[in-house]
Amino acid sequence: MKTRISLKVRAGARKTEFTARLGDAWKLQVAAPPVDGKANEAIIRYLSKLVSVPAGSVRIVTGQSSTTKLVEIEGVDSEQLERAILDTHGYRTHSGSSAPEQS
């Protein structure tokens, strides 16, 4: 089994984490800089650790040099991936505003 996830990536962030859901895609901040493939490597490592699969089971299908990426993960289904993201991210949605969200 394998699943795909659409990502909107911001490289060079303070820490690597999911920050919001944007339609069908997830917004992912990556601590690595967007040079020499470092951000892509960080994405692969982060996702493989998140769903407990080897890094070789994660590959960037499209968007190698773009902020919008399609990533395929072997050995996990879409429900497992979604649950793992929500466990780390919580159930927040992106309001479209830069103002802090109220609880």
Within 8 A by CB and 6+ apart from 9, the residues are 28, 29, 30, 39, 43, 67, 68, 69
**Position 99 confidence tier, pLDDT thresholds 50, 70, 90:** very low
Taking the model in full, what pTM does it have? 0.84
2-87 belongs to which homologous superfamily?
A: YggU-like (3.30.1200.10)
> Where are the strands (E) in 1-103, listed by range?
2-11, 17-22, 25-30, 58-62, 68-74
Mean pLDDT of 55-60: 98
Q: Which pLDDT does position 8 carry in this prediction?
A: 97
Q: What angle do CA 69, 61, 17 make, to 5 degrees?
A: 40
d(CA 17, CA 51): 14
CB of 28 within 8 A of CB of 16?
yes
Q: Is the pLDDT of residue 91 over 80?
A: no
